[in-house]
Chains A and B, each alone.
Chain A
């Protein structure tokens, strides 16, 4: 949690005086569903990186591979899972609706309370 400041310590009128300070606002606490990444299935197409509204897809710059999620900022919106072409392929192959946490998926959305390392 970001520490909350008193009225004497903050700019007046709700002004934000520095550019790019949304990095200080950790939105991970909003998350109800956690994205989990099946490394073996990923084709590193970077669609999730492109669509993530919170820049929370972590990429290894050395080999340009998707390596996971920045959980300090990920709000669990699930856009990554819905845009993932591997997920689309798995669902098509299964021929039925899959649960969001189906182990066959590349990016699964698991309820925070049920998540186990």
Chain B
């Protein structure tokens, strides 16, 4: 039987880790992730899991230990945020390239400088070309659910890539919310036993990970990673379907809300989608045809499916919690990628980008309402007056 508990997003993630019972966790504390591994360390100390918890001296070492343990044949998890993720940078690529199905809880936080411990998405956007799968979570429940699914996605023989599950630092990582925790046995049955295909610890069949790979084969190994990414979307959907059936949820590549008959929509990931939903309802009460699309899967980017879902709209407003400095119009990465996806799939819809909430700046319903009202005006005139707006920044 499942039960409802009042948990922070981090505690929900730690609970998922307890139920998954990974072989190895290597992690270093960093705000706002710390309470995840701290809570999990309690579970280890209390004997509730069989996990080997490796306390390392940095995130670079944390991810290195994860790669080593994964190559050895272990089911491996970790957690980090912001500068910790940045310090992992080199090894993130190695984890993906060595095809290590590591699962990471990534609590999104602004990158320094100036130093800031609060939420934005500049950390995760920095790893978008690293070969990791990236999924967003609106709240603790989704972080918990996504983490459980991530184990199955990462370890699928057609994928074998690491997965990062994102949630918003402090906003959901530290907010106490009602989370449905499934029965331990059900979660364990769902994730199943990890059977690594090429464990280093299989001493009967010695093998090599990470050898020198020059111009004659490196490129072929990159092509294999592309293939794994292409399989990943199908696997994510298969795992979601099984998860939805078993735990009565509704996960897909993204979540549309009142989108079907909408004329304008906002695209926004993680916790702000929850606020936007309230705004949608309020504007719908006024008779305005507004909708919402909340991305769940960012890598692999479901370009065609997003284009299909948005093709009927008269205006699209993307909300980005990070900036791609120096990119076209200094827009955010979500906007840039979505604009490319729509253009290449023949969807011609006026689009604008709204950068918001950097460094944990609050995003309030009236600000999101302004985005909708802008979009409604664009839908009427067919003209985008300003391509990129830095929402709520003081002039």
Contacts and interface: CB of A to CB of B under 8 A. Distances in A.
Interface of A: 4-7, 10-19
A14 B98 contact: yes
A7 B223 contact: yes
B90 interface: no
Given A7-B220, A7-B223, A13 B209 contact: yes
B4 interface: no
Contact of A12 (B160, B205, B211, B218): B160
Q: Is the interface of B mostly helix, strand, loop or mixed?
A: loop
Contacts of B209: 13-15
Given A14-B211, A17-B198, A18-B207, A4 B221 contact: no
B200 to A, nearest CB: 10
A14 B213 contact: yes
10 contacts: A5-B220, A7-B220, A12-B99, A12-B221, A12-B224, A13-B98, A14-B98, A14-B211, A14-B221, A15-B99
B69 to A, nearest CB: 15
Contacts of A14: 97-98, 209-211, 213, 217-218, 221
Interface residues of B, number: 22
Which of A4, A6, A16, A19 has most B Cβ within 10 Å?
A: A16
A16 B207 contact: yes
B2 interface: no
Nearest to B228: A12
Contacts of B223: 7
A13 B198 CA distance: 11
Contact of B224 (A4, A13, A18, A19): A13
B99 A19 contact: no
B51 to A, nearest CB: 25
A30 B93 CA distance: 30
Interface centre among B98, B198, B205, B208 (most CB of A within 10 A): B208
Contacts of B224: 7, 10, 12-13
Contacts of A7: 220-221, 223-224, 227
Contact of B207 (A5, A6, A12, A15): A15
A11 B160 CA distance: 12
